[in-house]
Structure 1
Amino acid sequence: MKTNQYDTDQWRGTDIKLALSMQKLYEGLCANKGLQYLIDQIGELFERPLILYDTSRKVLAATNDAEPVFHMTSGNEICFINEETVSWIHSSRIVDYASSALAQGTLCITITIDVIKVAELAVYEADIPFQEFDFLLINKLGALLSTQLQRSILLKLDHNQIPSSILADLIEGKPINDTILNNRGRYLKWARTEALYIAVVCDSRRGSFEGTKSAAFQALKRYIPIDQMIIYESSMVAFFDQILYDVLFDNGEGTFQRFLAENNLYAGISQRYAALTDSRKQYRYAIAALEIGLTRKRHCSFFNQCTLYILSELVSSQYDLMDFCHPAVTTLLKYDEEHGTVYFDTLKQYIYYASAPAEAARILNIHKNTLFYRIKKIKELTGITLDFGDEISKIFLSIRLLELN
């Protein structure tokens, strides 16, 4: 007679499921996706509400369905659970598989660092009796969460994690609760304007912010408040509104840009946007700007300024750029090479300063009449007129693509 035991095949299936589940969780840990990400993944495995709270009853992370069960309360932007809830979690704890179908309760595990209790994880049964897999899984989570909490302590990510979970959901493109979308001021208190931006910051190797980089992360908090940042896939991802954007970037090569350069950090900045549902797209744009900055050794790169770089890379990955050049451009390059002239640069400056030929002449260090003489000669050599926007734009794009490469 069997009593709460699986046969050999069932146990094998449970063990495989457990191994695959832990592998996925450790991949998330190694990818630096953060505490809330791990809790979300664990919640999907249990398919029940769960909460992680520290010894002061502060909520470190929770699943989206945890609040009605664990009665979280907010104060000074930090969520807590009360003593009665903690007492209920402990008193309703289910300690063995045999009793899991007999009571509506919780599975709990204590998280320790160097044998010191720092937090507890609680999973609520939610009218779904716990299975053997659930007991095996929760007993495997202590070391995983301890490692993540030690990482958070190293980086001093000790702020309330609930807003951070919203930020992670935004950049992952997860469906966002309508309440959050309609009341973002309540959940994202830093968003003082409709205009938002995303910045992705990393070092030159796209390495993590652990170890020697923790000091740089601490310094970043001087510029961007902690509740607007998360560590995601080995980079720091920051959200900010127009007010903070102006402070950081509207002063040219200011203090923040110097800080990035001095610490060998690189930042990619998204476009301005307003709809939170566009966060995933803008995160990708910030990544694209970051990668261009890394390639070209620019410590701060804005997506809006990277359009031609992106077009250049897309074109050059499949075509010879010279095949995209306007014939006038290739003609001038060849003529300059053969005759020692500077007609290519003359045409470039003339187009760049189309409405200010005097400025073009100043850049070229020639008289304005000399500029017009050269332009007349260029028209004779190439057959262009420079009278139509389509012709001018094709020539301009050809010059820029060549310059970027």
Structure 2
Amino acid sequence: MKLRTVVNELMCKSTSVGREHLLDVDILLTPESRASMPSNTYLLRPCTYNDYISGKVTAARDEIVLAHSAEEIPTDTCPVGNVVAVTYEGSFHDFCRAFLELPPKLAVCELMRERIFETFLASYDLAHFVKGLNSVLQNPIIVANTELRVLASAGEFPTGESIDAAEIRGVLKSGYISEAVSRAFELDNVNHNIRLAKHSLLSTSSIHHNVWASAIIYSHNLELGRLDVLAYKHPISGFELELIDFASSLLGIMLDRLGAGGERAQAGSSLLADLLAGTFTDETSLYQQTSLLGIKRDMCYCLICVKGSIDADRPHYNKLGKIAARTVKGLLWSAQDDMLAILYPTGVNTATGFDAYHRTKRVLSAHKHFKSFIEHNQVRAFVSEPIENLLSVSARLAQCRALIASARDSWPPMVYFWEKRYAALAGAIGDIDHRDMLVDQRVLAMNRYDQEHGTNYFETMMASIRYPGSPQEAAESLSIHRNTYFYRVNKVRELFYLDYKNGDDRLALSFSAQVLEGMKLYRERL
């Protein structure tokens, strides 16, 4: 059982913990179980907060101390080590009595867990498992995928003419979570809070005041859907929250196995694989193939390479591609060994001049579902130069790979090649000696001078580039006085012979700064 479950079951008002991961460790409630205690399990001991503060009680290596306080714990104090402080309405005697009532409840919880797992092993489809889960939890259940499509439901839902009952009936009849319900979940930040917490949470709807226990369903760190349990037959306890977490992990296995997390991949992904490999040699054969897939010849695209964690492999990116295909109409994707490649439509070019950069950023920024895909799956998207001729896709792939090789932790989730061109160029040149030819030595000397003397000349000159002709804005961006700004730029002219009013010097400064970043030497001691 998790320590978080104990805190929830005791209905503690607040929790103060120095190490957040303690709430997710497995604990034992009775010392009799110590002999068979696994190495990663801790014995939980209650005490008063005053005894902990005074040093009368300390936690042994295999123990966690649960310190009781009848009053709010000061926000400026935080327990250290294996100690969790909780605020509880009632005396320490009442707290201990409630604590002693937990072992019998835990035994019942373990039996329910076994029943859930046995149901999972015996289930031949999702509906059968959800029905069995309802027989254990008693409260009604809804399982939906990431498209808000209801995959399964079970249990006795509210009846009658109430708004709650009518809305739930509408959801079950249509087979989709309604816009009103979805909006209520977003308004209450339910999904956001669950993703942050990484476990199920109780929430009360701000519209109809229903109490739900919700858990995100994951498989291989990919979000596949949501498990919602309505507190209708009886209130949901802390033990049941842990059971709901357990059930959501089993649902993740089942959804992945049954392929019920969403629609199948689009047929066009094989076409993109050929484009990436440079299989097509002429436009005629290419557009004969694309016309069969309904791809417009005058449509503009960009290539987006999506990178996940270091251990992400082709099956992982294959699942990501299936999710991405549902977010954008006309999107083509291809899973590679080390990334997911996406051909993203950005609209038809109707401008007299060149608006592709602006249009690409506008289209990607405005598509909230694609942005959510990047955010929720914790990946980064590297966007190539715009594509007007699909034969250039393989060249755009090289751009993205150069961009990925130069990536920094500080970069945003969506990285555009034309904004990081010089960093990518520096990363693609080769060894440090060759890259060094791209850097103006005056800029290099200024960077080194800042490191050795604690000055900020480099940042000041970069501000002069970001705010040309506006020294006031440049000074404000640095949080310094205007006179200090002028002192610095004059000092740079004196020490390094770099004049911020000279166009060539400004270009040298801007280009060199980007190259330094690409060399992983930006603002580091050289």
TM-score, normalization by structure 1: 0.51
Cross-structure match for 2:54: none
Cross-structure match for 1:196: 301
Counterpart AA for 1:203: G
Distance 1:313 1:403, change over 3 A: closer
Structure 1 residues 331-361: Cα deviation after superposition (integer angstroms, max 9, x where no partner) = 4345545654433322221233222222101
| C-alpha contact (below 8 Å) 2:304/2:400 kept by paired residues | yes
Distance 1:276 1:344, change over 3 A: closer
* SS of aligned partner of 2:463: helix
| C-alpha contact (below 8 Å) 1:170/1:176 kept by paired residues | no
Cross-structure match for 2:343: 239
Measure the CA separation in 2 of the matches of 1:379 and 1:225: 54
| C-alpha contact (below 8 Å) 1:333/1:344 kept by paired residues | yes
Measure the CA separation in 2 of the matches of 1:208 and 1:275: 30
Cross-structure match for 1:365: 479
Q: Which runs of 5+ in 2 are unaligned?
A: 1-255, 348-358, 521-526
Counterpart AA for 1:194: M
Counterpart AA for 2:432: Q
Q: CA deviation at 1:215?
A: 5.3
Q: Please, which of 278, 285, 290 is the counterpart of residue 399 of structure 2?
A: 285
Aligned pairs, number: 253
Counterpart AA for 1:267: A
Q: Please, which of 476, 491, 497 is the counterpart of residue 377 of structure 1?
A: 491
Structure with the higher fraction of residues in helix conformation: 1
Counterpart AA for 2:377: N
| C-alpha contact (below 8 Å) 2:475/2:481 kept by paired residues | yes
* SS of aligned partner of 1:175: coil
Measure the CA separation in 2 of the matches of 1:289 and 1:216: 21
Q: CA deviation at 1:362?
A: 0.8
Counterpart AA for 1:172: A
Cross-structure match for 1:80: none
Cross-structure match for 1:186: 291
Cross-structure match for 1:356: 470
Measure the CA separation in 2 of the matches of 1:335 and 1:199: 39
Cross-structure match for 1:249: 364
Q: Does 1:230 align with 2:334?
A: yes
Measure the CA separation in 2 of the matches of 1:159 and 1:334: 52
| C-alpha contact (below 8 Å) 1:343/1:374 kept by paired residues | yes
Counterpart AA for 2:323: A
| C-alpha contact (below 8 Å) 1:191/1:241 kept by paired residues | no
Q: Please, which of 268, 272, 284 is the counterpart of residue 382 of structure 2?
A: 268
Q: CA deviation at 1:236?
A: 3.0
Counterpart AA for 2:457: Y
Distance 1:189 1:352, change over 3 A: same
Single out whichever of 216-225 and 315-324 deviates more from structure 2: 315-324
Measure the CA separation in 1 of the matches of 2:414 and 2:385: 14
TM-score, normalization by structure 2: 0.40
Measure the CA separation in 2 of the matches of 1:245 and 1:349: 27
* SS of aligned partner of 1:174: coil
| C-alpha contact (below 8 Å) 2:264/2:322 kept by paired residues | no
Q: CA deviation at 1:283?
A: 2.4
Q: CA deviation at 1:311?
A: 2.5
| C-alpha contact (below 8 Å) 1:200/1:269 kept by paired residues | yes
Percent identity among equivalent residues?
22
Cross-structure match for 1:302: 416
Structure 1 residues 176-234: Cα deviation after superposition (integer angstroms, max 9, x where no partner) = 56544455762342447431112233422363353x66654443233135872233446
Structure 1 residues 82-121: Cα deviation after superposition (integer angstroms, max 9, x where no partner) = xxxxxxxxxxxxxxxxxxxxxxxxxxxxxxxxxxxxxxxx
Q: Highest relative contact order (Cα 8 Å, sep 6+), 1 or 2? A: 1
* SS of aligned partner of 1:319: helix
Measure the CA separation in 2 of the matches of 1:177 and 1:321: 36
Q: Please, which of 290, 293, 312 is the counterpart of residue 426 of structure 2?
A: 312
* SS of aligned partner of 1:354: coil
Measure the CA separation in 1 of the matches of 2:326 and 2:309: 21
Structure 1 residues 120-146: Cα deviation after superposition (integer angstroms, max 9, x where no partner) = xxxxxxxxxxxxxxxxxxxxxxxxxxx
Counterpart AA for 2:341: V
